[in-house]
Chains A and B, each alone.
Chain A
Amino acid sequence: MAFYQYSWTILFAPLLSFVVIIFGTRMWDLASRSRMAAGNGAIHVYDDAHALDHNTHGDDHADPGSDDDDDPQVPRLTTGARLSGYVAVVIMLLACIYSWLLLLDSTGALRISGYTLPYSGIDIFNYSWASASYLAPYEIRFHVDHLALAMMVVVTSVSLLVYFYSQGYMENSAGYARFFSYLSLFTFSMLVIVFAANFLVIFIGWELVGLSSYLLIGYWINKRAKPDEDRPQPATAAMQAFIVNRIGDVGFIIGIMILFWKTGTYNFAALSGTGPQSVQAHFAGNSALLTVAMILIFCGAIGKSAQVPLQIWLPNAMEGPTPVSALIHAATMVAAGVYMVARTFPLFVASGTTAFEVVAWIGAITALYAALVALTQTDFKRVLAYSTISQLGYMFVGLGVAGFYNPQGLGPGPGMFHLFTHAFFKALLFLGAGSVIHNLHHATHKEVQDMRKMGGLAAFMPITALTFLVATMTISGFPFFAGFYSKDTIIGLCLQSGSIALYVITLGTAGLTAFYMFRAYIVAFGGKGGKAFGLWGSREIYRGEGTPPESPLTMTIPLVLLAIASIFAGYWFGLFNYLSPTAHNISLNDLVSDPFTWLGVVVAAVGFACAWWLYGFVGLARVHDVVENNALLRFLHRLTNRKFYLDDLYYWLTKYIFLGIAHIAAAFDFSIIDGIVNGVAFAVTGLGKGLRHTETGKVQSYMYGIFGGIAALAIVVFVLMAFAQGGVKLW
């Protein structure tokens, strides 16, 4: 019991490292730099904002400060900066070990505490924030149960590996200590969501991850937009992510308010209760309102998990550093929406099937849309961003289908299972992409993310290529990799539920996934003329400049560890039953003996074969020519490459509709509101200008005023008194 009670230390560990870095090592770092500058008598202020000549370092940046992910300004890290990284990594390592021990203990794989964590979980922290006699108290309450433990392991493990990786990736970047403080703040915020025991706390965590996401997307504060690559400025992308998330959060908080209004409590445990205290009882006769509330709550997940129609921010969020993309915008934060739906699963069940159908359909549409868009993206990280959106769509399909088809028998298992496996392989994909970008930067001194400038990279960086290949096979659902189990479970579930449309969409998306992921892999790491029929690269087919090296050990170790996790994370077959006491586990036998599973594999294999044929044998240049010379193909290519013009539509809406309304409102404010205020002031001024002429300066005229006034008052008083006495009696 105590073993679980102390799990709040995991929650506060990243907060501790945040505080230590912000107030300790970073301060020391900044202080030691200025001492160094003073000692040398030269101006060497290595600050976050730097503007020194890059050309002396062989860099050909268009303009200084436009590209500061690898900054020759900071030749080596100071001790204080390095220490910041060590603090974050060591604290996270301890937290990670503790969370794994908790998970293993709670599954029964490892008996440490001798205590069986009940399915309802235990409260680990409770602080009454505010209370009013007639309302339930507002509690900062943290809670640990099986669902939280499963998610916590994902968060701490991926965080640890990303922290470790960032030591290599960010070594030349300005603001190294700041980066680790933001990462720590993010992990803390994410764990707040994981441990939240009521809607209030989950909403606080929800906004905190939004904040840290904003800080980390906009981390490179001096970087400019790259219009020729269709890439926005990081600061703009951060703003967009923040604002789009707020749109979803409006729905989220309204949903929370409806629930609180009807039930008078925020607590998940109380809301999931049965009998007269159940949600159905509170919403008796008004179940449509409960459905509306749950759909509104799901709106928060749509924003946070970048589902259609709020998907636009996630690809732009790729302007942040790649470890950030891996941790926040692939593995954990964007999965918070899925976790939140899994957390409120009993409420969704109580609201009936409509909300689940909305969840499933939003997920399916998103999965298909993002996969189609990913087909033609040329930016390495954007392919991965769209694949993240697509896979998050799968998770929502898993949750939704399980919910409306068989909530008792499945629980949130399918969605959470895919979340669990996806976190590892998607983090691996992003870290692999980061490794490529990092090494290409060393070779070309430019930030290369365009896959057309890569090719054959496997010959230069075999570890990165191999681990990326593993992740690609996993996400494509190759048999016996993690993605195979989690994704084919969801696809099979769609078929079992009888919703053929969902089945066709998810199955087709699986084929598309295999295609675009292998397209990305082959275009970047292999290519026509490479070894193994284009699957493995060679030095001759590299289309860029210079000779990229392999990444340092700080970067390859996390890659290898994640590759192992990407294969074996799918073997936790007990997850369904672990999460929900009534759920049946997946059976490997059933899965393997089901012909439809193999249909999914065949579809994925077709996608893989197409990608291999097109990019391994036909070649990128030839494919490009064919597409450009065929009107239909060109149209389709443009359609998906421009994201079905959804981004342009939003841009248009923002520019003409929202800004139009804003202009009208501003005009109303300026003319009517300010007009009233200024008009009153103007009238008073004018009146004063007129009246001041009565001030003659002559003392006798004032005297006339005084005595005339007294006389007038006297007459008035006299007349009034006369009337009060009922008539004029002068004498």
Chain B
Amino acid sequence: MDLIHPTLTHFLVLGAVLFGIGLYGALAKRNAIAILMGIEIMLNAVNITLVAFSFYNTVKPYSTFLTGQIFAIFIITVAAAEAAVALAMIISIYRKRSTVDVGEINLMKW
């Protein structure tokens, strides 16, 4: 049987679906760690999109560059740092307030 050759559209749809899933998690979950996971999914959805665009690019000379891939690597790096900071904050908040329910954390208001 013929393998389905993935096209750009497939990747974009995958990226969009993943982004939607991540966004839903970030918005709907009450647990801070779950929100963090949602954000990670959104970042990886963007990574897929970037790499796909870069891979399927045929316009010279941009097609010879690895711009999208490098972007993705940067995003992975930043996401790692972000996860570390966010987890540290979540632990710190948990120590103070014994909860990681974001509905309870509403200090940043008038």
Contact = CB atoms under 8 A, between A and B. Distances in A.
A699 B105 contact: yes
A696 interface: yes
B27 interface: yes
A345 B62 CA distance: 91
B103 A703 contact: no
B27 A707 contact: yes
A700 B107 contact: no
Nearest to A707: B23
A695 B110 contact: yes
A697 B106 contact: yes
Given A707-B23, A707-B27, A697 B109 contact: yes
B85 interface: no
Contact of A703 (B26, B106, B110): B26
Nearest to A692: B110
A703 B105 CA distance: 14
B27 A696 contact: no
A140 to B, nearest CB: 64
Interface in A677-708: 692-693, 695-700, 703-704, 707
B96 to A, nearest CB: 15
- Specify the main secondary structure of chain B where it touches its partner: loop
Kindly state the interface size class of chain A when it binds its partner.
10 to 19
Contacts, number: 30
Contact of A698 (B23, B105, B110): B105
Contact of B109 (A696, A700, A703, A704): A696
Contacts of B4: none
Contacts of B1: none
B102 A700 contact: yes
B108 interface: yes
A703 B102 CA distance: 12
A697 B23 CA distance: 20
A697 B107 contact: yes
Contacts of B106: 696-698
Contacts of B27: 700, 703-704, 707
A699 B23 CA distance: 14
B109 A699 contact: no
A699 B109 CA distance: 10
Nearest to A688: B110
B108 A699 contact: yes
B26 A698 contact: no
Contacts of A699: 102, 105, 108
A642 B103 CA distance: 86
Contacts of B23: 707
A697 B110 CA distance: 8
A546 B23 CA distance: 108
Interface in B34-86: 35
A707 B27 CA distance: 10
Contacts of A695: 108-110
Nearest to B29: A700
Nearest to B23: A707
Nearest to B103: A698
A170 to B, nearest CB: 70
A125 to B, nearest CB: 71
Nearest to B107: A697
Most chain B CB inside 10 Å of its own CB: which residue of A693, A696, A699: A699
A507 B106 CA distance: 98
Contacts of A696: 106, 109
A337 to B, nearest CB: 69
A704 B27 CA distance: 7
A730 to B, nearest CB: 13
Contacts of A703: 26-27
Contacts of A697: 105-109
B60 to A, nearest CB: 27
Given A692-B110, A698-B109, A700-B26, 13 more contacts: A695-B110, A696-B106, A697-B105, A697-B108, A698-B103, A698-B106, A699-B105, A700-B27, A700-B102, A700-B103, A703-B26, A707-B23, A707-B27
22 contacts: A692-B110, A693-B110, A695-B109, A695-B110, A696-B106, A696-B109, A697-B108, A697-B109, A698-B102, A698-B109, A699-B102, A699-B108, A700-B26, A700-B27, A700-B35, A700-B102, A700-B103, A703-B26, A703-B27, A704-B27, A707-B23, A707-B27
